[in-house]
Chains A and B, each alone.
Chain A
Amino acid sequence: MVELLDETPRVRSVVLDPPDWGGHLAGQHVDVRLTAEDGYQAQRSYSIASAPEDEHLVLTVERLDDGEVSPYLVDELRPGDELELRGPIGGYFVWEASTGGPLLLVAGGSGVVPFRSMLRHRAAAGSDAPARLLYSSRSLDEVIYRDEWEGLGADVRFTLTREQPEGWTGYARRIDGELLAEVAWPPAERPLVYVCGPTVFVETAAEALVALGHDPARIKTERFGATGGR
């Protein structure tokens, strides 16, 4: 472990320099395994936040109070410590510059992590595929990589569902068919859609997109839960 970065009060990025890392695709994840002194093991999956082109491997971890792995990663891990990783894992929820677009990314909370990897990859690869991210967060304080989105060359739109700062001009409601109709390209333009977030969020967004006429075969989803890490 090289460095720990504060993203929000509950979220930190763990910067890693794994030996013999063979590279990854944007959107993939790794499994992190912790072993206690008595041999007890706990394992969770975390999405990779860095682009394949980045120097280090970055995982972004949300601290779950009753979690077995995330409190250790967020609170206990120190630079120089070693972690047991397996990965990169997953070949489905990935995007490569050669895949093209238009690329529509829909994120709920820390579901935005793989999209940072995709948009950094898109920028690094010089892709001209149009990209749009709709990112739902409870409040501005909980927006991850807040200072970074503007520089990625994508159309990034926020919706703050619980609390908005004074003078907020972005969206302030939960993601539903109406909001998706406003933000998404029309189905006729056949955008490639990725939805990532908690299960209920993903199902609401995916069902609304299908109802709007988007081809289910062009909608990829990834769900995470309190025990699934990510």
Chain B
Amino acid sequence: MSATSAGTPPRERTTGAAGGPGDQRQRGSTLLRHLAVVAVAGLLLVGVSYAVEPFRNFQLATVAAYLCATAGLTVLTGLNGQLSLGHGALMATGAYTVALCQNAFYDRGVTGAALLVVSLAAAVVATVAVGAVVGVAAARLRGPYLAGVTLAVAVVVPALTVTFDGVFNGEQGLSVPVEPPPLALGVYFPYERWQLWIAGAATLLALLLLANLVRSRYGRTFRAVRDDEVAARLAGIHVARTQVLAFVVSAATAGLGGALLAVLAQSVSPGAFGLTLSLFLLMAVVIGGLGRLAGAVWGAVLLVALPDLSHSVTEQLTLSAAAAQRLEGNLPLAIFGITLVVVMLAAPGGVQGLLSRFGRALLARWRAGRS
């Protein structure tokens, strides 16, 4: 097998191809349809933010922040076939940009709710710049060689914060001053609900743009390059340019995701954006189901829910002091590891692949029953 396509299994191609003619017919309404989905999701999110307690709001907001990054990584790896082990570093770029911007505003005494939007936009711009540089190098590399370079990027960015500690304050990192919720929402408006609104709004916007991009001409060139570079080149697609574009788009969303994480945590430090984060993002998109944005949703949910769930399972056990000391912390990790292995063995298409298979089977049975 050639090392060219780091991406999706071949059977994905049929689905992608089938999407082509569908797009032709539905092109006019694609944007509207996505808008409708986003509007429904937004309304649901607002409803949920009132229904659940603050901690769940915070967890959902974290899911939203991770979702930005996993959706971008899905576009890069799943749709364009480029492997990145360095998305944690791109998230760090966004996070540090937002921290520096917010601090600059704060130090000058500039206040206002709109400033956060400016900072988030700056974070996206900065990450796009970094992503473009990495993307140009990445476009020349394939498979494990690309993995090697992006791995090095993942290690470098946290290290740079130590080298330039005058700006980034080393391992301790920076605090991110964020305005409290606007008074119009009431004095006792929970802060975590406000955080969910911010993260949810930004993520839905990013998803809307990504979904349209995926359905557009660009999305088709992404997939064409992934499936067969030579054929794509014959069809008049500029392969390197397409790959750089995919990397830049992916970097932009990763930067936004990192910026949101920094806003949620009200702080940023290199330890949070190490190699582990990059590897976990990759695990998330593959487990969620590579190649579709819905898979990115599952991945982001798993990133937040799985450690929490396995910790809860561990807590149910009653253990002696000595045994508890050995298992504490380690058992959740073991459960996490086993889950990864089992999911990949049982459902190589990830959670989303499993669900669509299940959905198709249901649909077939329903049709068979009707006829």
Q: Decide if A and B are genuine partners.
A: no
**Interface residues of B, Cβ cutoff 8 Å to A:** none
**Interface residues of A, Cβ cutoff 8 Å to B:** none
